[in-house]
Structure 1
Amino acid sequence: MSQSDMPLSGPSRRQILAGAAGTGLLSVLPRGVFAQGAGPEVKKAILGYIALTDAAPLIVAREKGFFAKHGMPEVDVQKQASWGTTRDNLELGSAGGGIDGAHILTPMPYLMTTGKITKTPGGVPMSILSRLNTQGQGIMLAKAHKDLKIGLDTAPLKERFAQLKAGGKEVKVAVTFPGGTHDCWMRYWLAAGGVDPDKDCQTIVVPPPQMVANAKVGNMEAYCVGEPWPLQTVNQDVGYCAITTGELWKNHPEKSFALRTEFVEKYLKATGALLAAVLEAAQWCDRDENKDEMCAILAKREWFKVPVEDILDRSKGKFDLGVRSFENKDLMQKYWRDAASYPFVSHDLWFLVEDMRWGYLPTTLDTKALLGKVNREDLWREAAKAIGVAAADVPASPSRGKETFFDGVTFDPANPMAYLEGLKIKKLVG
């Protein structure tokens, strides 16, 4: 595959990744969307979430009154059964009995916009307004593999999986949605150790809240999911945690806050109000003094319905993985610190390239155009300014620059083709 076969380079793409907002590739809303005195056009929006701690900014914005503060007291935050349900309800929109926006796996708005995962011909345009968190996911292994004490090195799993297959067992690893973040982490982790996720095992989809129950009955050898389910796995002695994903890629992007583009275009001021509320909630969630209250809120029956003990430790940077324990606040889930809330365009590009790697997207995809449609980091900047975020705390560029993974592999957003070509295990489609 030649460089021209994959239009990820060129001056225009470099501009979007290296320049400031408003290069012309990002459609910028009219100024004044966040102006004082310009109230939202509507008081209500329906937002979806899944019972994962990275939904905290949406839940806290509702519980602590941040939505109401910004003129939207009737925001409804509704639990979704799975990422497939989230997609379906976003496709319907609130006018059709669905939802206007959601806590969502970062690649999903791109897969929806391209029509790869929607029933609607041509796709459902989506807009990413902010990142909800970085890191804080877990890759788990069944108790049967505890003797291997697998961590970052997955090489021993290749032989173990081969032995299971030779004995007639189907070797399954579970993720939460095809092409989603957990799928990316599982596949990267396995492939780094020489395990082909499409040949050496079978990848299946299990909704996050059902992971532990499926592990109990032996439905999979490994799974990747967000908290609180990894800690619950250890607490219930169902399996062990190989890694927390910050060990795979420090400060990696995870979930996003996204709205249907139709909502954004119709209700510009309401979009600004929602985004401002979510950013303030992210700041609140990331303050150490609020962690106990945050976890108590999430544990409630109406939100997660889990023991607060399944949430608390990981939210404070305390990691009992079942085979090793350590404390590292730099690896815990982050909502605001270290620019966790800002939706770097370079990170979205990595997800697009990784979905190309595994055949979910074609290598001929015009990533420049797609990023310009979906990523609205320009609105994040406006909202941050409106709520008084210091200029020093606003990233200078939509690119965080080169990223290095645990295995030494580097992703340079200025040359994604080199990254893709250098990966040994992949499944490309034209």
Structure 2
Amino acid sequence: MSGPVRIGVLRLVDSAPIVVAERRGIFRTLGIDVRVQVEPSWSNLADKLSYGLLQAAVLLPPLAMAATLGLRGPKARLLVPLSISQGGNAIAMATDAAAAIEAAGGIRAWLQDRREPPRLAVVHAFSTHNLLLRYWLAASGVDPDRDVETVVIPPETVVDALAAGEVAGFCAGAPWGDVAARNGAGRVLFGTSHLWPHHPEKCLAVGQGWADANGPDLSLLLRGILQAQRICDCAEEAEAVAALLAAPEALGLPLEATRAALAGGDGTEQIRFHGGGAWMPARPHALWFLRQMQRWRWIGADEDLPAIAETLYRPDLAIRAALAEGMLPPPPLEPMPETELCAP
């Protein structure tokens, strides 16, 4: 082993497999020294991963793509050898805004009665949240670049921003949508799995230089996460996993809302970590995100999207680690949404 493997995470339920693998000694049993670092924002994670201060991070797929394409600074050399989670996001609005949207019969009609575009928060410009929010708005007849104002707020502070009236709504990962509802700061309109059932959400991104030089450590890292993903998908483990994530020395997440987002919970969405091939970094999924990024002119029309997906997403590494764990190959991919979609 070349030294400790530093993995960055945010205070989100999606971070569960990393925390479980570290806190339950799974990494240690496999013989790999992993140090989990909790960061305050997606930008922090991406910057530290890009400059080698982290060897790995739980990242947003579009952010990993943006970093490798040089959309947020110098091009980063990253790989995505594993998917971490599916689903889990919520689109929430301030209570009065949610009621007005419902009374108007939809967000497009509500917007027509407003003098100024409402401010909606996403957790990063290059995020699944932003792309799925835009997908819903466009399907509802709303122009995301003209009819609303989009701002970036880190997930752990987005509920405070909603409660303070700084934003009219947000799209963020668990547990923050349910926290807003439980605190009376707003109402959840729907979970993003209504747009794309079991959509890919967070991925594991690693520095390519580190991966190339530390193949055995990377394999052990993936095996430990795969073991933890199985645990995080078990309803009978959900209470213990939620307690672990809520511990101040771990992530300090709100206990009830965290439990609600895990298997067997009663939240807006239950995150899937392992079942249905949730661990597979599928290149068709990468292509869907890339095409949406191209749709909104974040990347040029002349970019070779299949080549980008093939270079960044490495299902071969995931499958090799899964086989070492005695896992079966993943099932066929579930259907993905087309360009147009009827709004929920």
Asked whether the equivalents of residues 179 and 360 of structure 1 are also in contact (C-alpha less than 8 Å), the reply is no
Q: Out of 47, 67, 71, which is 1:112 matched to?
A: 67
**What are the residue-to-residue correspondences of 1:255-404 with 2, within 5 Å?**
255-319=202-266, 332-390=270-328, 393-395=329-331, 400=333, 402-404=335-337
Q: Distance in 2 between matches of 1:306 and 1:367?
A: 37
Alignment CA distance shift 1:218-1:77 (3 Å): same
Alignment CA distance shift 1:320-1:100 (3 Å): closer
How many angstroms does 1:207 deviate by?
0.5
How many angstroms does 1:306 deviate by?
3.2
Asked whether the equivalents of residues 57 and 205 of structure 2 are also in contact (C-alpha less than 8 Å), the reply is yes
Look up the match of 1:221: 168
How many angstroms does 1:67 deviate by?
1.1
SS in 1 for 2:47: helix
Q: Out of 73, 77, 81, which is 1:125 matched to?
A: 77
Q: Deviations over 1:5-55 (max 9, x none)?
A: xxxxxxxxxxxxxxxxxxxxxxxxxxxxxxxxxxxx335111100111011
Alignment CA distance shift 1:110-1:320 (3 Å): closer
Q: Distance in 2 between matches of 1:155 and 1:203?
A: 22
Q: Out of 249, 255, 259, which is 2:196 matched to?
A: 249
Look up the match of 1:326: none
TM-score (norm 2): 0.94
Alignment CA distance shift 1:109-1:202 (3 Å): same
Look up the match of 1:16: none
Q: Distance in 1 between matches of 2:314 and 2:113?
A: 48
Matched letter for residue 348 of structure 1: A
How many angstroms does 1:394 deviate by?
2.8
How many angstroms does 1:401 deviate by?
6.5
SS in 2 for 1:174: strand
Look up the match of 2:41: 82
Alignment CA distance shift 1:170-1:199 (3 Å): closer
Q: Distance in 2 between matches of 1:302 and 1:320?
A: 24
Q: Deviations over 1:223-255 (max 9, x none)?
A: 100011111101100000011111111111100
Q: Distance in 2 between matches of 1:218 and 1:367?
A: 39
Q: Deviations over 1:49-72 (max 9, x none)?
A: 011101111111111111112211
- Unmatched segments (≥5 aa) in structure 1: 1-40, 322-330, 405-409, 411-418, 425-430
Q: Distance in 1 between matches of 2:5 and 2:165?
A: 40
How many angstroms does 1:352 deviate by?
0.4
Q: Distance in 2 between matches of 1:163 and 1:240?
A: 20
Alignment CA distance shift 1:162-1:317 (3 Å): farther
How many angstroms does 1:368 deviate by?
2.1
Asked whether the equivalents of residues 62 and 289 of structure 2 are also in contact (C-alpha less than 8 Å), the reply is yes
Q: Deviations over 1:328-349 (max 9, x none)?
A: xxx5210001111111110011
Q: Out of 109, 114, 132, which is 1:159 matched to?
A: 109
TM-score (norm 1): 0.76
Asked whether the equivalents of residues 121 and 169 of structure 2 are also in contact (C-alpha less than 8 Å), the reply is yes
Asked whether the equivalents of residues 109 and 258 of structure 1 are also in contact (C-alpha less than 8 Å), the reply is yes
- Structural RMSD (CA): 2.0
Matched letter for residue 9 of structure 2: Y
Q: Distance in 2 between matches of 1:423 and 1:315?
A: 27
Alignment CA distance shift 1:159-1:423 (3 Å): closer
SS in 2 for 1:381: helix
Alignment CA distance shift 1:276-1:150 (3 Å): farther
Asked whether the equivalents of residues 263 and 272 of structure 2 are also in contact (C-alpha less than 8 Å), the reply is no
Q: Out of 154, 173, 192, which is 1:207 matched to?
A: 154
Look up the match of 1:102: 57
Matched, 1:55 2:12: no
Alignment CA distance shift 1:259-1:155 (3 Å): farther
Q: Deviations over 1:331-382 (max 9, x none)?
A: 5210001111111110011000011111211121111221121111000010
Q: Distance in 1 between matches of 2:102 and 2:283?
A: 33
Larger radius of gyration: 1
How many angstroms does 1:100 deviate by?
1.1
How many angstroms does 1:134 deviate by?
0.5
Identity among equivalent positions (%) equals 28
Asked whether the equivalents of residues 12 and 253 of structure 2 are also in contact (C-alpha less than 8 Å), the reply is no
SS in 1 for 2:113: helix
